């Protein structure tokens, strides 16, 4: 697996959401677009998503480029907070349980930037979000970062749908 795989799965999940019919989805994945998030979804405003894939044993700071996080933060500031970083993480087989061998963490860009680049700042670790939660958008907004077990692409689609519906 690689980052592209997760970007494609997110696009499929967004297209499968009936309420997202008519959304314009762009995948920004060219070398000339350094710093621009991987996906933009426009429907009632534009939402931005940077996708990262963290293999077992990798450190988050080693896979996140500061320019990408800062750009997401700037986009969030000018569009009502509709920008996030989704980190798909593989778990070592020794600690994974059953078919859910990974984690998905959704970060507000400002929180992720502080987490990675301001180590002296006291921040709460990402919180486990119940899978049946009514509003992933509100959970992320209130906590700065949340995670779920498994690589749940439909959760990202729900987040983007809520943003398009103006649930922010």
Q: Where are the domains of the chain?
A: 3-164
The CB density around residue 122, as the number of other CB atoms within 10 Å, is 6
Tell whether the torsion through CA atoms of 167, 4, 130 and 65 is positive or negative. Answer: negative
Q: What are phi and psi of 105, to 5 degrees?
A: -115, 130
Query: Consecutive 10-residue runs of the chain (168 residues): their mean pLDDT?
Result: 87 91 84 79 92 92 94 94 94 57 92 91 88 84 92 90 78
- The pLDDT value recorded for residue 86 is 96
Whole-angstrom Cα distance, residue 97 to residue 17? Answer: 28
Of 53, 41, 56, the C-alpha closest to 104 is 53
In the Cβ-directed half-sphere of 67, how many Cα atoms lie within 13 Å? 4
Whole-angstrom Cα distance, residue 154 to residue 167? Answer: 17
Q: How many residues does the chain have?
A: 168
Whole-angstrom Cα distance, residue 88 to residue 71? Answer: 20
Burial of 104 (0-12, 13-18, 19+ CB in 10 A): buried
Of 64, 62, 57, the C-alpha closest to 85 is 64
In the Cβ-directed half-sphere of 11, how many Cα atoms lie within 13 Å? 14
Enter the pTM of the model: 0.87
- The pLDDT value recorded for residue 2 is 83
- The pLDDT value recorded for residue 119 is 78
DSSP 92: P
Whole-angstrom Cα distance, residue 125 to residue 145? Answer: 8
Give the bridge partners for 90, in sequence order. Answer: 102
């Amino acid at each position: 697996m690689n980052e592209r795989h997760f970007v494609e799965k997110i696009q499929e999940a967004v297209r499968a959401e009936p309420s997202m019919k008519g959304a314009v989805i762009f995948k920004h994945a060219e070398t000339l677009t350094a710093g621009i998030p991987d996906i933009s979804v426009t429907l009632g405003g534009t939402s931005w998503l940077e996708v990262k894939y963290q293999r077992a044993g990798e450190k988050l700071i080693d896979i996140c480029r500061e320019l990408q996080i800062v750009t997401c933060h700037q986009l969030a500031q000018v569009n009502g907070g509709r920008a996030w970083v989704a980190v798909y993480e593989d778990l070592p087989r020794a600690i994974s349980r059953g078919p859910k061998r990974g984690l998905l963490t959704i970060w507000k860009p400002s929180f992720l930037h502080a987490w990675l680049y301001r180590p002296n700042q006291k921040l709460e670790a990402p919180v486990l979000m119940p899978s049946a939660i009514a509003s992933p958008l509100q959970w992320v907004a209130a906590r700065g970062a949340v995670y779920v077990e498994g690589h749940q692409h439909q959760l990202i689609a729900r987040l983007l749908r809520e943003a398009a519906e103006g649930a922010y």
